[in-house]
Structure 1
Amino acid sequence: MEFWPEFVASSTGKEFVAGGFGGTAGIISGYPLDTLRVMQQNSNNDASAFTILRNLLAKQGPTALYRGMAAPLASVTFQNAMVFQIYAVLSKAFSSSVSANDPPPYKGVALGGFCSGALQSMLLSPVELVKIRLQLHNTTTETQQKGPIGVAKNIWKKEGVRGIYRGLGITMLRDAPAHGLYFWTYEYARERLHPGCRKSCEERLNTMLVAGGLAGVVSWVFSYPLDVVKTRLQASRKYNGIVDCVRKSVTEEGYVVLCRGLGTAVTRAFIVNGAIFSAYEITLRCLFHK
């Protein structure tokens, strides 16, 4: 137990705890829109988010929007804490020539984000697999047991380790470059909105919200086609890998399928990532202000 006070008092420990608060805020604020996004991506028609929402509420009630939230809420809090911790360490490591009191240059920010995105995929991929199966519970025959543990056991029983990590490759392809762009956009946007804030850390809440929201939107627009492929791979076993999924999806539904649900995703990205960075920055200032 003596480890934790020392860890939290360190720079890395502060970023770990603040990142955890950010992850929790992001999940709670954006989960209903995430459910709609997944349903749009896995749909074989061009139904709007509003149509899907109306049908879902009429048939299953508002709780359906939060189905499967337990798994990401429990894991994403830890995952987000790890991402911000790894990013903080690596962005500084890639900027070794910079003074310890100065913020890392944008090159270090991008490289730190890229590596943190690649590493977090190992944890995130199985969680998103379970989440997607739960979110699509009433539209597929795969998830016959309710709850994340039941679904995970069902996947393990039927598909083994390979099934649990189904979609890992595409998750890494999505997250590594997207996280590099994500952190770069946030740092660049906050500096443009409030010059000098990267060093002084004195920006206002609206700066955090807007910069975080823009970072989420830019990274999602960049990686969205890969996210559609990942959702389809993890939702069904009818695809034999990334290339097969892209080929069959495009052949059956056209290239528009790779952008289906983008509007919902962008809206969600602005809300969620504004909340994540705001919670992260506020936690650093309130709990660890010297």
Structure 2
Amino acid sequence: MGQKNTLVGSVQAYAEQAVKNNRTVVSATLASLVGTSAGYPLDSLKSRLQANRTPITLASLAKKVWREEGFAGFYRGIWIPLITISAVRAVSFSIYTRTKDILHDNNMLNRGTLFDVSSAGGLGGILSGAVISVGSAPFELVKVRRQLEYSIAEQRGIAIIKPPNTLDAVADIVRRSGVTGLYTGFRLHFVRDTLGTGLYFAEYEAFRHVLGRRPSGVQGPQPSWLPFHIPESTLPFLCGSVAGVTAWAIIYPLDVAKTKLQQRALSGGHYRSAFETLTRLVRGPDPNNPKPVVSGIARLYRGLGVSGCRSVITHGVLWTLFDYAGSYIDSIPDRSRPPLIS
């Protein structure tokens, strides 16, 4: 009995130490699983709004999805992003935190000023965005394929009796375009992720700094110009939401163009470059009768409202749970490795 208790204690100690050694990965993965699940229905509606040829209200689109696809339609294709986004965020946060550590260790951007704090976060974000885009592009293409299954089938002139599963969707893309087809729209994806992730982390660090977080990571007093005190527990949600919404709004036209380009390629239309796709979205398909610039720009921001709501939920939950999980892991005693059997 004594040996059994010792073995259980040893395994627990190893597990606790492993969690502490991989604090960032564990915290980011747990937070991402919850955040992605919470925001996915809005992400699905966002992709449909972007791809729809005619304007439609969010309420009308939601009713249409419910009527034609049921509750499962809002979560169509969730398994790949649930797994891959969690893995991507774990890598992204690891690169981001490691970049900040390297800069600090080499006495770079470590003066604790707003510029240094946001620049260090932004540099970490740019590096992580560039790296993760290479691995995440195929998975996001498959996600778009699953979300737009019905509209793609309609453009192909096919009636869907039973929607294909994720593996069938991957097989269809490879069969039609080869393995490289999984990287359809990669240039736009790369620019969007690199720029967007850099802005995202830079803004989060800047907001936390302005609201009183010290370079050590400890929350200090909030600025006197605030009209009211913000509870410390809500700061990660607030800063994460604002950073997510504002960064996403800046890069949103790139995401619209990417979705449109991918939808056209997946439905069998002839190839259009990223520039041509953006031009047609803004000016319309007829160069001799271009749309007004204002309406064209509005087209680029179709679905931004629902996407902003998704960002509030996803990134607010993400940073709240990331901070909470990190604090909990830090509270675990740091034990040295005990022998398996005493």
- Please list, as runs of the form range in 1=range in 2, the aligned pairs for 1:75-114 lying within 5 A after superposition: 75-95=84-104, 96-97=106-107, 105-114=117-126
* Further displaced range: 185-194 or 21-30: 185-194
1:241 aligned to 2:251? no
Contact 1:15 1:284 in 2 (8 A): yes
Task: Give TM-score, length-normalised by structure 2.
Answer: 0.77
Alignment match, 1:285: 327
CA–CA distance in 2 between the matches of 1:20 and 1:34? 19
Contact 1:71 1:127 in 2 (8 A): yes
Alignment match, 1:227: 255
CA–CA distance in 2 between the matches of 1:147 and 1:90? 38
CA–CA distance in 2 between the matches of 1:198 and 1:224? 33
Q: Structure 1 residue 195: deviation in Å?
A: 4.2
Aligned residues with identical type, % of pairs: 27
Contact 2:117 2:205 in 1 (8 A): no
Contact 1:191 1:198 in 2 (8 A): no
Q: Deviations over 1:147-200 (max 9, x none)?
A: 222111111111112210111111111111211110111112123334438621
1:265 aligned to 2:307? yes
Alignment match, 1:190: 208
The alpha-carbon distance between structure 1 residues 219 and 84, as it changes in their structure 2 partners (threshold 3 A), is same
Contact 1:92 1:108 in 2 (8 A): no
Alignment match, 1:216: 244
Alignment match, 2:54: 45
Alpha-carbon RMSD: 2.6
Alignment match, 2:28: 19
CA–CA distance in 2 between the matches of 1:152 and 1:268? 26
- For residue 200 of structure 1, the aligned residue among 199, 206, 218 is 218
The alpha-carbon distance between structure 1 residues 125 and 4, as it changes in their structure 2 partners (threshold 3 A), is farther
Alignment match, 2:71: 62
Q: Structure 1 residue 5: deviation in Å?
A: 7.2
Letter in 2 for 1:262: L
Contact 2:103 2:120 in 1 (8 A): yes
SS at match of 1:105: helix
1:116 aligned to 2:132? no
Structure 1: gaps spanning 5 or more residues:
none
CA–CA distance in 2 between the matches of 1:106 and 1:29? 28
Letter in 1 for 2:275: V
Structure number with higher helix proportion = 1
CA–CA distance in 2 between the matches of 1:29 and 1:192? 28
Alignment match, 1:153: 171
Alignment match, 1:137: 149
Letter in 2 for 1:149: L
SS at match of 1:138: helix
Structure 2: gaps spanning 5 or more residues:
1-13, 221-230, 286-290, 333-342
Q: Structure 1 residue 264: deviation in Å?
A: 0.8
Contact 1:94 1:112 in 2 (8 A): no
The alpha-carbon distance between structure 1 residues 220 and 198, as it changes in their structure 2 partners (threshold 3 A), is farther
What is the number of residues matched between the two proteins? Answer: 286
Task: Give TM-score, length-normalised by structure 1.
Answer: 0.90
Q: Structure 1 residue 58: deviation in Å?
A: 1.9
CA–CA distance in 2 between the matches of 1:148 and 1:156? 13
Q: Deviations over 1:69-97 (max 9, x none)?
A: 01101111111101000111112223420
CA–CA distance in 2 between the matches of 1:130 and 1:74? 13
Q: Structure 1 residue 140: deviation in Å?
A: 1.2
Q: Which has the larger radius of gyration?
A: 2
